[in-house]
Structure 1
Amino acid sequence: MAGIAANKLLMVRMLVETAPDAALRSLELALSGPAGGQGALAAVRRLVEDETAARYIRNCVLAPIVPLFAARDADQTSFPPRALGLLWAALKAEAPRQVEEAAARCNPWDLEQGPPDVFNALCKIAAEGLRAQATPGFTALAPICDTDTLASCLELSAIVRAALPKLSEWVSRMSEERASSARLAYKDACAIRPDAGPLLFEMLAAHLPDDWRILRVISAVMDRPGDRFWAASEVGLFGERVLADIEKNIDFVRGFDADKGEAEGRKAALAAQKVAQQITELEQSVDLAKDGPWGRRLAKHKQAVAQAAEARMNAAEKELLAALPLRPISMLGGKGGKGVPLLTAEPDERLNRRMTAVLAFLADTRPCAAQSGYGSSRAKVLEKLNARLDHYIEDILHVVRTGEGGDQVIAQRYVDLAASYIGYSRDDKTAEIVRRRAAAAMAAAA
């Protein structure tokens, strides 16, 4: 295979250097096979490997601020992703010797001993460069981001870097010793700038999988304050964000589009789970007063999420009747039946999607239903659905075995649907039993 022309290779280099981290990882994986080391692809592979190594060094040096260069909520501290590359390029031009030293120290045995001093020294140089705006590399950042805030983040990077190894312990199980450590980090940040506390928490939160868990750290620093005091303080915005996110997720549970199917139902259930977790987090982190600014709102949110979830669950029986239609008056339906399967048309795909969405929501809210106040409602809805499905399955298996009451082929398709629904409302093992019974019935009828 011919090599790549120089001008085209330059274009590839530019694309690789500007590619997002996720895209670069995918490209590296795609080129990792034998074919990636041959011909023209070998040059691309080397470019990708070189860029991956360079980003590893960059991300080690700038680790405290790297998560800030990503899409975040509008009121959270963040910078455009491309600003990270520009900042690193400016730093390499400003302090090439220190960058070279940092690259040499980015190995496992050095990093096991803690971050080298040169990492923090480079962050300090970058902060000074942003403040001075005296070199082209740093002035290039001014039009695309808030250089004052970015410089402040870099000034706090040494404190954040020291706190990162402790952060998982702070949010998992806070002890008095860990609380003292968090308070010390906060005190050190405020020694740099009196108003640095909120920015410190922003930077730490960006490193958490669930950024709202930073409430635990703030609570420890403030010694679990009351909601009136916290809401009026400089870190009140962190609680306000969580309350706003709770409200947004309740609205999603209330109005999610069942026509989008299973994925949307699971997404709504995740929203309900997140609401439950966030409510618990607030209750544990803040001394809430019933008539306090957050206590009142949280009580309303708890009631609203239960009502929203129950409304979606209560629609399940109606959705089931639409997806698995019945015709009235039947000898086969039995005393408790409401009719027998209507087998005059193929299953409706849209109605199936709607039923699957509701069932997925029901299934995935199991971890949070009880603590959120709708566990009993959920259990009753599942009981009704399972009773209806049991009757339906017995009736339709009769049709499959005998051909009496409808088309056997259509009946088989509805059996498959009913079995898939049982998988959500009970478990996969029960669903598989239904499918085996249907297969046996079809074999007996053949």
Structure 2
Amino acid sequence: MVRKLVETAPDAALRSLELALAGPAGGQGALATVRGLVEDEVTARYVRNSVLAPIVPLCVARDAGQTAFPPRALTLLWAALRQQAPKKVEEAAARCNPWDLEQGPPDVFDELCKVASRGLRAQTEAGFKALDALCDVDALASCLELSTIVRGALPKLQEWVSKMSEERASSARLAYKDACAIRPDAGPLLFEMLAAHLPDDFRILRVISAVMDRPGDKFWASSEVGAFGERVLADIEKNIDFINAFDPAKGEAEGRKAAHAAQRVAQQITELEQSVNMAKEGPWGRRLVKYKQAIAQAVEARMNAAEKELLAALPLRPISILGGKKGKGVPQLTAEPDETQVRRLTAVLVFIAEIRGCALQSGYGSSRAKVLEKLNGRLDQYIEDILHIVRTGDGGDQGLARLYVDLAAGYIAYSRDEKTAEIVRRRAAAAMAAAA
């Protein structure tokens, strides 16, 4: 039963189990047997993932429309190969070491992928038949048929997407030509498999652009690889919608997630503009102009709400009745900080801080600078007022003042930097010591 659990455990769970059993306690008693099972499974999966490397990233949960297979497909496929070609599997295991892999993937890896592809097509062996109920065996067989080309392209992939040169473009075109020699419609599937190996799958646009010699958006949109551009545009729209709708009450993690969405939009827009010859009135060009305006409006709306959130989290009372809402106020220390308002302001400030890298290129850099200038001015004045209360007790409860000065220090770490926040904390500690 334990062996079955280990064999079917997800990779992440297996790594956690391996780490948990790595200590001295894991080598004693019954746990020693379990650790042995885990170590054997880790080794077996290393061999399996090396042999089936071209399709491994496809066997995870992926976005709708992308080629994907259930994670269990890898397990069943490897079991079928061990039954169908045990000697080749043993050879692959023997060759699956750093010394052999330094010379490039052994031929037996590709041979096993061919065996798997033929087995899936034939559907005569029980091991391969089991996959028919789990996934599209024709699609999986097609991916395995291209595995030789994908495996050969993977060492070059980072070079292709980092800085494409004419020599690298020629190499990418050759890989595309070889794929189409296997089957005429294999081009999109080749790009799909390569994209799955990239941390940001939208960067496959660079490779497609090199193969197609940077086509116009009208031609690309109507071609067999048009889905890759459409997918990026749909993701841009989805991320803009998220920025518009995210709930600051969920706190820092949500603000960070929204900022990452803004960063991704900026990267994707740049990628499209560099990879595609956009026409102002083209099918993608029109949409890209609209999305540029939409992302700037969404981000600026979030930033402009920061001052209101600041007042709610660090409330002020007017110095005089005549001052009204617009008059300068002093800290209002009548209740402990409102946790919801604290989370809301933190989320907005984290969002503003995290979009620093993409603000200028996306057209809202000056708006961000103005918002931060105003926020920092308010925070500076608030901190001076609250430190006065901490030292003297004049103007409110000293205990509450200490809570609020700690909050303000945390906020200024986001709006300015951690060094400024640490200075505020030291000043607060000195003020508290003086008041004691």
Matched, 1:313 2:303: yes
Matched, 1:368 2:381: no
What does the per-residue CA deviation read over 1:203-225, in whole Å, with 9 as the maximum and x for residues that have no partner? 00000001110000000000000
Q: 2:169 aligns with which of 168, 179, 182?
A: 179
Q: Superposition pairs for residues 261-272 of structure 1, below 5 Å?
A: 261-272=251-262
Deviation at 1:306, TM superposition (A): 0.3
Q: Superposition pairs for residues 122-271 of structure 1, below 5 Å?
A: 122-271=112-261
Amino acid at match of 2:18: E
Contact 1:68 1:203 (8 Å CA) reproduced:
yes
Partners of 2:427 and 2:22 in 1: CA distance: 47
What is the root-mean-square deviation in Å for CA atoms of aligned residues? 1.1
Partners of 2:296 and 2:343 in 1: CA distance: 24
Partners of 1:277 and 1:86 in 2: CA distance: 38
Deviation at 1:33, TM superposition (A): 0.7
| 1:44 aligned residue | 34
| 2:318 aligned residue | 328
Q: Superposition pairs for residues 346-425 of structure 1, below 5 Å?
A: 346-425=336-415
Would you say how many aligned residue pairs link Structure 1 and Structure 2? 433
| 2:59 aligned residue | 69
For structure 1, which runs of at least 5 residues remain unmatched after alignment? 1-10
Q: Percent identity?
A: 82
What does the per-residue CA deviation read over 1:302-321, in whole Å, with 9 as the maximum and x for residues that have no partner? 00000000000000000000
Partners of 1:227 and 1:338 in 2: CA distance: 54
Partners of 1:214 and 1:314 in 2: CA distance: 35
Partners of 2:129 and 2:185 in 1: CA distance: 25
Q: Superposition pairs for residues 407-446 of structure 1, below 5 Å?
A: 407-446=397-436
- Partner of 1:406: helix, strand, or coil? coil
| 2:17 aligned residue | 27
- Partner of 2:131: helix, strand, or coil? coil
Deviation at 1:255, TM superposition (A): 1.1
Partners of 1:289 and 1:144 in 2: CA distance: 43
Deviation at 1:337, TM superposition (A): 6.2
Amino acid at match of 1:404: D
| 1:87 aligned residue | 77
TM-score with structure 1 setting the length: 0.96
Partners of 2:93 and 2:386 in 1: CA distance: 69
Residue range with higher mean Cα deviation, 336-345 or 269-278: 336-345
Q: Superposition pairs for residues 339-350 of structure 1, below 5 Å?
A: 339-350=329-340
| 1:116 aligned residue | 106
Contact 1:337 1:391 (8 Å CA) reproduced:
no
Amino acid at match of 2:253: A
- Partner of 1:64: helix, strand, or coil? helix
What does the per-residue CA deviation read over 1:15-59, in whole Å, with 9 as the maximum and x for residues that have no partner? 100001111011101101111000010000000000000001101
Partners of 1:423 and 1:441 in 2: CA distance: 20
TM-score with structure 2 setting the length: 0.98
| 1:296 aligned residue | 286
Deviation above 4 Å: which 4+ runs of structure 1? none
Partners of 2:271 and 2:434 in 1: CA distance: 57
Amino acid at match of 1:47: L
Partners of 2:350 and 2:22 in 1: CA distance: 38
Q: 2:94 aligns with which of 88, 98, 104?
A: 104
Amino acid at match of 1:394: E
- Partner of 1:164: helix, strand, or coil? helix
- Partner of 2:132: helix, strand, or coil? coil
Partners of 1:379 and 1:94 in 2: CA distance: 64
Amino acid at match of 1:290: K
What does the per-residue CA deviation read over 1:254-289, in whole Å, with 9 as the maximum and x for residues that have no partner? 111100101110110000000000000000000000
What does the per-residue CA deviation read over 1:192-247, in whole Å, with 9 as the maximum and x for residues that have no partner? 11000000000000000011100000000000000000000000000000000000
Q: 2:47 aligns with which of 41, 57, 67?
A: 57
Partners of 1:433 and 1:63 in 2: CA distance: 51
Partners of 2:74 and 2:421 in 1: CA distance: 51
Amino acid at match of 1:382: L
Partners of 2:198 and 2:376 in 1: CA distance: 40
Partners of 2:403 and 2:88 in 1: CA distance: 68
Deviation at 1:330, TM superposition (A): 5.2
- Partner of 1:378: helix, strand, or coil? helix
For structure 2, which runs of at least 5 residues remain unmatched after alignment? none
Partners of 2:395 and 2:155 in 1: CA distance: 67
Contact 2:319 2:327 (8 Å CA) reproduced:
no
Partners of 2:432 and 2:157 in 1: CA distance: 59
Deviation at 1:443, TM superposition (A): 1.5
Residue range with higher mean Cα deviation, 256-265 or 395-404: 395-404
Contact 2:349 2:415 (8 Å CA) reproduced:
yes
Partners of 1:14 and 1:355 in 2: CA distance: 49
Contact 1:313 1:358 (8 Å CA) reproduced:
yes
Contact 2:180 2:187 (8 Å CA) reproduced:
yes
